[in-house]
Amino acid sequence: MKLPLLLALLFGAVSALHLRPETSTFESTLGAKTLPEDEEMPEQEVEEILPRELEEEEEGGSGSEDASKEDGAVESTSVPDMVDKNLTCPEEEDTIKVVGIPGCQTCRYLLVRCPRTFNQAWFTCQRCYRGSLASIHNFNTNSQIQWSVSALNQGQVWIGGRITGSGHCRRFQWVDGSRWNFAYWAAHQPSACGGHCVSLCTRGGRWRREHCLRKLPFICSY
């Protein structure tokens, strides 16, 4: 009776030793090939996914509001704080007075030939001449200003018009707060896309949309 029992125990021990390495090898091989440790994503996959997500955000997030901010346009009627307050006032020889506006004895305009961005020009008009970028409300005023700047080679000058919003929500405003009751746009202007600030062409006096960060001569009213 004791001999069969001993043989059975010995056979069971040998079987256990034989099966254990196979199971361990199988688990080891499966884990190395199919399961990342601690559920981490391989570095190569992370590098491939992140740029794709960023591209989608860039393509889908280029709305008119962001474009307006990049363009330097602002919503308030005061010059933004981002303008360098150390800007020097133009020399007298860099300015030309615009005189003889028909039908307006109190209108005073000044052409400043120093090229500046829209916001810099706006700040210069306020700080140096206690005025603002010019608003234009009739054809006669537009013609007189155009005549005074026709000798400039730059082709365009800033006036005080700006564009906010887009599509059906697009609005035209003068930075001095006056009413928008006149416009003299060039052909195909104002276009659906473009800058958020308004310039006057030195030839013909027509208006165009321009990027506000472009540096142009400008017209102040004071």
Residue 56 has pLDDT above 80, yes or no: no
Q: Mean pLDDT, to the nearest integer, of 203-222?
A: 95
Determine the pLDDT at residue 99. 73
Determine the pLDDT at residue 54. 29
Q: Mean pLDDT, to the nearest integer, of 152-169?
A: 88
Domain assignments of the chain as residue spans, ordered by start:
1-34, 41-69, 72-221
Amino acid residing at 106: T
Q: CA–CA distance from 53 to each of 45, 48, 61, 66, 70 (Å)?
A: 13, 9, 12, 19, 22
Residue 216 has pLDDT above 80, yes or no: yes
Residue 222 has pLDDT above 80, yes or no: yes
Residue 57 has pLDDT above 60, yes or no: no
Residue 204 has pLDDT above 60, yes or no: yes
Residue environment code for 17-43, b if the CB has 16+ CB neighbours within 10 A, otherwise e? eeeeeeeeeeeeeeeeeeeeeeeeeee
User: Would you say 127 and 222 are in contact if contact means Cβ atoms under 8 Å apart?
Assistant: no
Amino acid residing at 214: R
Cross-strand pairs, 173: 162
User: Would you say 107 and 221 are in contact if contact means Cβ atoms under 8 Å apart?
Assistant: yes
Residue 64 has pLDDT above 80, yes or no: no
Residue 138 has pLDDT above 80, yes or no: yes
Does the pTM of the predicted model rise above 0.85?
A: no
Higher-scoring residue by pLDDT: 74, 59: 74
- Give the chain's mean pLDDT: 73
pLDDT digits (tens, 9 = 90+) for 65-90: 444 444 554 445 566 666 777 789 99
Yes or no: is domain 72-221 CATH 3.10.100.10?
A: yes
Q: Of 189, 193, 182, which Cα lies nearest the Cα of 208?
A: 189
Least confident of 8-17, 25-34, 179-188: 25-34
